[in-house]
Amino acid sequence: MENEPEFEHEYDELHALMSKHNLLSLFEHLTFRQKVAKVSAGLKADKDSGDYKYAKLQVQRLSAPASAILVPIIGLGLLSLLAQLTPPRPASVEVEVVEEIEPEVLDEIEELEDEPIEPPEPIEMDDFTPDAPMTEVTDMMDAPTTEVSPQTAEFDAVALIKSPIIMRGIVGNRSPGMRGKAMGTYGGSGITEGAVMRALRWLKSEQLSDGSWPKNKVAMTGLALLTFLAHGETPASEEFGETVLNAIMYLVNSRDKTGGWNRRYVHAIATYAICEAYALTKTPMLMEAAETALEHVIKGQLPTGGWGYAYPDKFNDTSCAGWCAQALKAGKMAGLTNPGLDDAIALAVKGFQENASPSGGFGYRGPGTGGLTGVGVLCMQLLGAANKGECTRGLAWLNQNATFKWDDPWLKSSVYYWYYTTQAKFHAGGSTWQQWNAQFSRELVRGQTVLKGAAADGKDMGFWDSPAKGEHSDGRVMDTCLCALQLQVYYRYLPTFKTVKAIEEEEELVSDMDEIEVDISI
């Protein structure tokens, strides 16, 4: 062929080039042992050399089949191991079929009729100078009545803490709907509830931006919070939820490093409020605050059972002991389990007995009579000692001496004394309460100053100023709280004259219903 010399020349050049770069070895037929040796030698050669690249290629080619076999085998082994570690399923499951219980249908809320109260003589206001501007001051008979069972709040209204729908035990009548029933049972009306709602709206308008109320801020905030709680208001309430929440947070955040408040009256009132707030909300944060505050009260008790202005103190002061005893009762009611709480309650009874007069009544720092008699009677009732002679004689003294006439106040600290006397007579029940209720409710509502349309939503507001400018008054906020708390006596607590069995039966009735608790947070 003509091109054969040229082809042979090109072949010789290609063969020489392949020999130079050791590429002819790729076409050699090697035995398995020779391939292994060559691969082993190539792996030790320079990484840029052809021998190394050849060896690496052979390793990858030979490892692929092994991986295809080993990986599934390893996977199957792991699955088998996991299957052995998994606990066996039970062969059978016990199932109990419970018959569905239809919840009891609650009674419809009955509309309460206004009390047949004769219109009183017009109140002369010429000498009265209010601290706040008023659009109009009206007599209580001109004030509109209020529905006794406001609509419950929407679940997403304002809430930061747990708010049980069902209030149980001694505070059970504060829940929506139950207020109306309790008022119908114990003598309240739309007129008394109207005064309460006006007072709550006024207190809401007076709250400062930090959640407190002015003057003696911790004590006034404690009293204001007690007033809202007495109406069953919690941070989940539609109209007053934010007010209640801010008050709670102010008290919690205003504690000192010991978990309390520095002044004794102040500490007892704030403890009382925090314990009630925990009772209505069951918030863990409040449980810690309530137990710590209550611990100060327990440790500050005198060996004789009373309290003074300092913890501890050598004087058994009936007035200071009154707030401490109410704090203990609130802590017990809330389910707190402070060590020594039950012993402190039992010992407190002896403290009040120490200041009881043999002829009836309670004194300030020793046996006596006077306005503090209501303190001793109420606290002994709350502490379970209503049948003690000192309590029954004190109640008899109140029946003979205590009066309620707004224009002619009883003693120099009338509102403070009335706060205790009204509750003491309510817990006594019977004719004692009926006679007092017919007198005090009319006079107290009549003494409220009404601000027509002054609330932000155009509704009426109202407040009280004590008719007797004496001791035990820290101004308008305190007077308004103590007066409103009296008009909430119908539903604030179940009366202590009811037997323990009756209260337990009521609690059992509630427990038979589906109890719903809602956690709402923002």
pLDDT of 299 reads 95
Residues 355 and 486 in one domain: yes
Domain boundary, last residue among 48, 70, 92: 70
Output phi, psi for 484, to 5 deg: -65, -40
DSSP element (H, E) containing 154 = none
DSSP secondary structure string, 19-39? Answer: HHTT-GGGGS---HHHHHHHH
117 found inside a domain: no
CATH number of the domain enclosing 275: 1.50.10.20
Whose CA is closest to 486, among 432, 429, 431, 440? Answer: 440
pLDDT of 21 reads 58
pLDDT of 177 reads 82
Q: Which amino acid makes up residue 15?
A: H
436 found inside a domain: yes
Domain boundary, last residue among 70, 98, 118: 70
CB of 361 within 8 A of CB of 391? no
pLDDT of 59 reads 74
pTM for the full predicted model? 0.68
The pLDDT of residue 164 is above 80:
no
**pLDDT tens digits, one per residue of 170-220:** 777 898 789 999 999 999 999 999 999 999 999 999 999 999 999 999 999
**pLDDT tens digits, one per residue of 297-342:** 999 999 999 999 887 778 999 999 999 999 999 999 999 999 999 9
Residues 65 and 213 in one domain: no
CB of 292 within 8 A of CB of 338? no
Cβ atoms within 10 A of the Cβ of 259, count? 16
486 found inside a domain: yes
Residues 59 and 151 in one domain: no
123 found inside a domain: no
For 171-193, give one letter per residue: b (16+ CB within 10 A) or e: bbbbbbbbbbbbbbebbbbbbbb
Q: What percent of the chain has pLDDT over 90?
A: 57
7 found inside a domain: no
Residues 147 and 51 in one domain: no
Residues 165 and 51 in one domain: no
Show the domain range for 255: 140-518
374 found inside a domain: yes
116 found inside a domain: no
Report the alpha-carbon distance of residue 384 to residue 380 in Å, rounded. Answer: 6
Tell me which residue has tokens 């505050």: 293
Structure-block tokens of residue 176: 């929506």
Q: What percent of the chain has pLDDT over 70?
A: 72
CB of 311 within 8 A of CB of 276? no
**Number of domains present in the structure of the chain:** 2
Residues 269 and 368 in one domain: yes
pLDDT of 116 reads 41
Higher pLDDT, 398 or 138: 398
102 found inside a domain: no
Higher pLDDT, 505 or 348: 348
